A and B are shown apart, each in its own frame.
Chain A
Amino acid sequence: MSSVSDWDVPNPVKENRSGLIGKGVDRYEGPLKVTGTAPYAYEVQPPSPPAYGVMVGATIAAGRITDVDTAAAEASPGVLAVWTHRNVPAQPPRGTKAHPRSTAGSKPALESDRVTYWGQPVAFVVADTLENAVAASHMVQLTYAADAPDVDFQARLGDAVDPPGEKDVEVGDFQAGFEGSPVRLDETWSTPIQNHVQMEPCASLAWWEGPDRCIAHTSVQMVKPAQHGLAETLGIDRDAVHLMTRYIGGGFGGKGQTYDDLTLAALAARALGRPVKVAFTRQQMMHGTIHRPATVMRVRLGAERDGRLNAMSIMTWTHCHSDGSFTEHASNFARSLYAAPNRLTGHRLVRLDLPHAGPMRAPGEASGTLSLECAMDELAETLGLDPVELRIRNEPEVDPENGRPFSQRQLVRCLKEGAQLFGWDRRLPTPGQVRDGRWLVGLGMAAAIRGNFLLPAKCSFSVDADGVITVRQGMTDIGTGTYTVLAQIAAETLGVPLGQVVVEIGDSELPPAPGSGGQFGAATAGSAALAAGVNLRKAIADLAVNDPGSPLHGGDSASVTFQDGVVALENRSETLRDLVRRAAPAGLTVEGEIRPAQDAQRWSTQTYGAHFCEVGVDPVTGEVRVRRMLGVFAAGRILNAKTARSQLTGGMIWGVASALTEGNAVDPRYGSLINQDLAQYLVPVQADIGDLEAIMLDEVDDKANPMGIKGVGELGNSGAGAAVANAVYNACGVRLRDYPITPDKLLAGLIAAGR
Chain B
Amino acid sequence: MKTTITVNGQARSLDLDPRTTLLDALREHLRLTGAKKGCDHGQCGACTVLVNGVRINACLSLAVMHDGDEVLSIEGVGAPGSLHPVQQAFLSQDAFQCGYCTPGQICSTLGLLAEIAAGHPSQETPSDAPPVLSDAEIRERMSGNICRCSAYPQIVAAIRQAAEALA
CB atoms of A and B under 8 A apart anywhere in the complex?
Answer: yes
A197 within 8 A of B: yes
B148 within 8 A of A: yes
For A26, the chain B residues whose CB sits under 8 A away are: 91-92, 94
Q: Which of A24, A40, A132, A196 contacts B100, CB < 8 Å?
A: A40
Kindly specify which of A368-376, A580-588, A681-689 makes contact with the partner chain.
A681-689
Given contacts A26-B91, A35-B77, A43-B27, contact A199 B147 (CB under 8 A): yes
Docked-complex contact A250 and B150, CB < 8 angstroms: no
CB contacts under 8 Å to A, within B1-56, are: 17, 19-20, 24, 27-28, 31-41, 43-44, 46
For B96, the chain A residues whose CB sits under 8 A away are: 27, 30, 33-34, 479
Docked-complex contact A31 and B34, CB < 8 angstroms: no
Kindly specify which of A519-527, A642-650, A725-733 makes contact with the partner chain.
A642-650
Whole-angstrom distance from the CB of A467 to the nearest CB of chain B?
21
For B80, the chain A residues whose CB sits under 8 A away are: 31-32, 35, 37
Docked-complex contact B139 and A686, CB < 8 angstroms: yes
A-B contact count (CB 8 A): 193
Kindly specify which of B113-121, B126-134, B151-159 makes contact with the partner chain.
B151-159
CA distance A250 to B103 in the complex (A): 15
A608 within 8 A of B: no
CA distance A89 to B74 in the complex (A): 40
Quick one: closest A residue to B81, CB to CB?
A: A31
B146 within 8 A of A: yes
Docked-complex contact B100 and A199, CB < 8 angstroms: yes
B138 within 8 A of A: yes
Docked-complex contact B43 and A678, CB < 8 angstroms: yes
For A739, the chain B residues whose CB sits under 8 A away are: none
CA distance A85 to B139 in the complex (A): 48
CA distance A42 to B27 in the complex (A): 10
CB contacts under 8 Å to A, within B88-129, are: 88, 90-92, 94, 96-103, 106, 123
**A246-272 interface code vs B (CB 8 A; 1 in, 0 out):** 011111100000000000000000000
Docked-complex contact A249 and B87, CB < 8 angstroms: no
B166 within 8 A of A: no
Docked-complex contact A34 and B90, CB < 8 angstroms: yes
For B58, the chain A residues whose CB sits under 8 A away are: none
Docked-complex contact A131 and B36, CB < 8 angstroms: no
Docked-complex contact B75 and A35, CB < 8 angstroms: yes
CA distance A279 to B59 in the complex (A): 15
For B19, the chain A residues whose CB sits under 8 A away are: 131, 135
Q: Which of B43, B94, B144, B153 contacts A693, CB < 8 Å?
A: B153
Given contacts A27-B91, A131-B19, A643-B94, contact A34 B150 (CB under 8 A): no
CA distance A196 to B148 in the complex (A): 9
A624 within 8 A of B: no
Q: Which of A199, A251, A478, A679 contacts B46, CB < 8 Å?
A: A199
CA distance A647 to B20 in the complex (A): 37
Whole-angstrom distance from the CB of A592 to the nearest CB of chain B?
27
B142 within 8 A of A: yes
CA distance A643 to B154 in the complex (A): 11
Q: Which of A200, A642, A679 contacts B98, CB < 8 Å?
A: A200
Given contacts A26-B91, A250-B98, contact A653 B152 (CB under 8 A): yes
Docked-complex contact A678 and B146, CB < 8 angstroms: yes
Whole-angstrom distance from the CB of B122 to the nearest CB of chain A?
10
For B28, the chain A residues whose CB sits under 8 A away are: 129-130
A29 within 8 A of B: yes
Q: Which of B79, B140, B149 contacts A687, CB < 8 Å?
A: B140
Q: Which of B41, B123, B151 contacts A678, CB < 8 Å?
A: B41
Quick one: closest B residue to A197, CB to CB?
A: B148
Whole-angstrom distance from the CB of A342 to the nearest CB of chain B?
38
CB contacts under 8 Å to B, within A8-42, are: 24, 26-27, 29-40, 42
CB contacts under 8 Å to B, within A38-56, are: 38-40, 42-43, 45
Whole-angstrom distance from the CB of B87 to the nearest CB of chain A?
4
A692 within 8 A of B: yes
Interface size on B, residues (CB 8 A): 64
For B90, the chain A residues whose CB sits under 8 A away are: 30, 34
Docked-complex contact A248 and B145, CB < 8 angstroms: no
For A31, the chain B residues whose CB sits under 8 A away are: 80-81, 83, 91
Interface size on A, residues (CB 8 A): 65
Docked-complex contact A679 and B100, CB < 8 angstroms: no
For A252, the chain B residues whose CB sits under 8 A away are: 148
CA distance A650 to B151 in the complex (A): 6
CA distance A334 to B91 in the complex (A): 38
CA distance A124 to B140 in the complex (A): 40
Counting chain B CB atoms within 10 Å of each CB, the highest count among A33, A34, A250, A654 belongs to A34
Docked-complex contact B151 and A36, CB < 8 angstroms: no
For B97, the chain A residues whose CB sits under 8 A away are: 250, 479-481, 643, 646-647, 650
Q: Which of A45, A677, A684 contacts B43, CB < 8 Å?
A: A677
B78 within 8 A of A: yes
Docked-complex contact B74 and A36, CB < 8 angstroms: yes
Whole-angstrom distance from the CB of A218 to the nearest CB of chain B?
15
Given contacts A649-B153, A650-B151, contact A33 B99 (CB under 8 A): yes
Label chain B's interface by main secondary structure.
loop
For B154, the chain A residues whose CB sits under 8 A away are: 646, 649
Given contacts A33-B102, A36-B103, A199-B44, contact A650 B34 (CB under 8 A): no
For B40, the chain A residues whose CB sits under 8 A away are: 281-282
A407 within 8 A of B: no
For A679, the chain B residues whose CB sits under 8 A away are: 41, 43
Docked-complex contact B75 and A36, CB < 8 angstroms: yes
For B138, the chain A residues whose CB sits under 8 A away are: 686
Given contacts A35-B80, A199-B46, contact A43 B150 (CB under 8 A): no
For B37, the chain A residues whose CB sits under 8 A away are: 42, 201, 279
Docked-complex contact B24 and A249, CB < 8 angstroms: no
A394 within 8 A of B: no
Docked-complex contact B91 and A201, CB < 8 angstroms: no
Docked-complex contact A677 and B94, CB < 8 angstroms: no
CB contacts under 8 Å to B, within A625-679, are: 642-643, 645-647, 649-654, 677-679
Docked-complex contact B41 and A686, CB < 8 angstroms: no
Whole-angstrom distance from the CB of A402 to the nearest CB of chain B?
34
Q: Which of B36, B43, B145 contacts A686, CB < 8 Å?
A: B145
CA distance A530 to B92 in the complex (A): 26
For B31, the chain A residues whose CB sits under 8 A away are: 45
CB contacts under 8 Å to B, within A466-493, are: 478-481
For A693, the chain B residues whose CB sits under 8 A away are: 153
For B148, the chain A residues whose CB sits under 8 A away are: 196-199, 250, 252, 683
Q: Which of A32, A132, A646 contacts B94, CB < 8 Å?
A: A646
Quick one: closest B residue to A77, CB to CB?
A: B17
For A653, the chain B residues whose CB sits under 8 A away are: 150, 152
For A683, the chain B residues whose CB sits under 8 A away are: 146, 148
Docked-complex contact B34 and A686, CB < 8 angstroms: no
CA distance A250 to B24 in the complex (A): 21
CA distance A186 to B62 in the complex (A): 57
Q: Which of A247, A282, A643 contacts B38, CB < 8 Å?
A: A282
Docked-complex contact A282 and B43, CB < 8 angstroms: yes
Docked-complex contact A649 and B99, CB < 8 angstroms: no
Quick one: closest B residue to A656, CB to CB?
A: B150
CA distance A200 to B27 in the complex (A): 14
CA distance A647 to B149 in the complex (A): 8
Quick one: closest B residue to A38, CB to CB?
A: B99
For A685, the chain B residues whose CB sits under 8 A away are: 143-146
Docked-complex contact A34 and B87, CB < 8 angstroms: yes
Docked-complex contact B38 and A35, CB < 8 angstroms: no
**A44-70 interface code vs B (CB 8 A; 1 in, 0 out):** 010000000000000000000000000
> Which positions in B face A, CB cutoff 8 Å?
17, 19-20, 24, 27-28, 31-41, 43-44, 46, 73-75, 77-81, 83, 87-88, 90-92, 94, 96-103, 106, 123, 135, 138-140, 142-156
Interface contacts beyond A42-B37, A478-B98: sample of 4 additional A-B pairs, CB < 8 Å, sorted by A:
A34-B102, A36-B73, A36-B102, A687-B123
A-B contact pairs, 7 of them (CB 8 A): A36-B102, A42-B37, A131-B17, A135-B19, A478-B98, A646-B97, A691-B153
